[in-house]
């Protein structure tokens, strides 16, 4: 997704969200549900947020075709369980560019987290750390990249870089990420201009007064939401250049074509990230689940591959791993977790989906997320599309 430091900075929250005694489930205030229900969680978040803020997080570009197809595209695949394999408790830990994580489910970069909860990115960082997940911090965060890093100094994190500012400011952000202990730099390359997001246009969406974009240059008055880049267009040569500026491995996020990823890797990318930007850029675009096999084939063993976009169940995660992704990342689900429960809400989403993944792996006779065979899934012509 496109990505407050505190309540005094003016996050646009409803009174219900400010009420601590309403953080529990509204239909059962005494206990948590026995399973992760993301659809219900979204509705709870919607009730806590103002309509324009909810639409900003939930909406997509154009006719929202890409947004709608993202979850169903993973269901075009079917699991092929193995039996009698003597599988015990599945191994869920892996490494992402050398950083150890306890789950292959991470947090995608998303902007303006201070609108979802007063803790903003700090809350997301704590929730990710609690589950051993990797968090990617957005350029358009409402907390500075250094302050997010300070929340969990030992936890792995990456910094996502937009082409939004002058070349000098953008280079400075890359240097700061390296100095602050981030483990990788994520170049978002699918935003040469902002997607046409009709929900935001209808609501005339703007950031709440006083909510600061902590990594952006200082501006006078109310800060506008993301706009078209003001710096020259990036090229494949910028991959190596940003690696040198930051001193970090570079992940290229927003790729959907095999020919593009081959050039990214040849230009020095350590990993590529299959993404449609949450359905918020080109529309209708090919879904991540459709693009992933082509990307994995083009990359081969030369770089790691990640994916996001519509992943909502443990079987979706397993499908992505079988298709060659080393990890997946969540955007909107962690948004709803933050909005409804702060750091604990984020941890419940990440932990719940990790539990679903472990359960699905056990049913399929698999014991290690680092070794999910390609023939675990098969494309089926009768799947709902």
DSSP per position, 56-105: HHH--STTSHHHHHHHHHHTTEEE----S----SPB--EEETTEEES-SE
Q: For residue 212, what are the CA distances in angstroms to 17, 82, 141?
A: 20, 51, 8
Among candidate residues 117, 165, 169, 277, the one labeled active-site is 277
Q: From the CB of residue 96, how many other CB atoms can be counted at a distance below 10 Å?
A: 20
Q: Residue written as tokens 């992760």?
A: 36
The pairing of strands 377-379 and 77-79 is antiparallel
Give 366's contacts (C-beta < 8 A, 6+ positions apart).
Answer: 82, 85, 87, 90, 318, 372, 376
Rounded Cα distance between 301 and 373, Å, is 15
In degrees, to the nearest 5, what angle opens at C-alpha 48 toward C-alphas 276 and 314?
A: 45
DSSP 339: H
Rounded Cα distance between 361 and 323, Å, is 15
Whether 117 sits among the annotated catalytic residues: the reply is no
Rounded Cα distance between 289 and 307, Å, is 8
CB-CB contact of 293 with 324 (8 Å): yes
Taking Cα atoms as reference points, which of 215, 194, 189, 216 lies closest to residue 205? 194
DSSP-derived 3-state class of residue 271: strand
Rounded Cα distance between 330 and 41, Å, is 14
Rounded Cα distance between 294 and 356, Å, is 27
Catalytic residues: 277
């Amino acid at each position: 997704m496109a990505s407050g430091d505190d309540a005094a900075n003016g996050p646009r929250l409803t009174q219900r969200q400010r009420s601590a005694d309403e953080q529990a489930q509204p239909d059962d205030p005494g206990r948590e549900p026995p399973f992760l229900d993301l659809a219900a969680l979204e509705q709870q978040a919607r009730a806590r947020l103002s309509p324009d803020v909810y639409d900003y997080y939930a909406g997509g570009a154009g006719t929202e075709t890409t947004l709608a197809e993202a979850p169903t595209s993973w269901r075009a695949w079917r699991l092929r369980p193995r039996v009698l394999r003597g599988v015990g408790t599945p191994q869920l830990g892996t490494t992402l560019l050398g950083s150890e994580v306890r789950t292959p489910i991470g947090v995608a970069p998303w902007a303006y987290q201070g609108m979802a909860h007063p803790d903003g990115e700090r809350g997301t960082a704590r929730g990710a750390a609690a589950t051993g997940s990797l968090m990617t911090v957005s350029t358009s965060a409402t907390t500075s990249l250094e302050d997010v890093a300070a929340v969990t100094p030992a936890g792995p994190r990456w910094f996502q870089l937009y082409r939004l500012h002058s070349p000098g400011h953008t280079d400075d952000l890359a240097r700061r990420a390296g100095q602050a202990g981030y483990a990788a730099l994520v170049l978002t390359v699918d935003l040469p201009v902002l997607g046409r997001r009709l929900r935001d246009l209808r609501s005339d969406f703007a950031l709440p007064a006083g909510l600061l974009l902590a990594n952006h240059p200082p501006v006078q008055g109310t800060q506008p939401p993301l706009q078209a880049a003001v710096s020259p267009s990036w090229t494949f040569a910028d991959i190596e250049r940003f690696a040198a500026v930051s001193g970090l491995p570079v992940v290229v996020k927003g790729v959907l074509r095999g020919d593009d990823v081959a050039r990214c890797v040849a230009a020095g990318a350590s990993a590529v990230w299959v993404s449609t930007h949450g359905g918020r850029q080109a529309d209708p675009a090919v879904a991540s689940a459709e693009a992933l096999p082509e990307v994995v084939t083009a990359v081969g063993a030369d770089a790691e591959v990640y994916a996001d976009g519509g992943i909502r169940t443990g079987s979706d995660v397993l499908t992505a791993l079988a298709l060659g992704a080393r990890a997946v990342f969540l955007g909107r689900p962690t948004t709803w977790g933050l909005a409804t429960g702060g750091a604990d809400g984020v941890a419940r989403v990440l932990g719940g989906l990790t539990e679903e993944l472990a359960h699905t792996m056990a049913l399929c006779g698999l014991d290690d997320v680092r070794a999910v065979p390609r023939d675990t899934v098969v494309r089926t012509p009768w799947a709902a599309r």
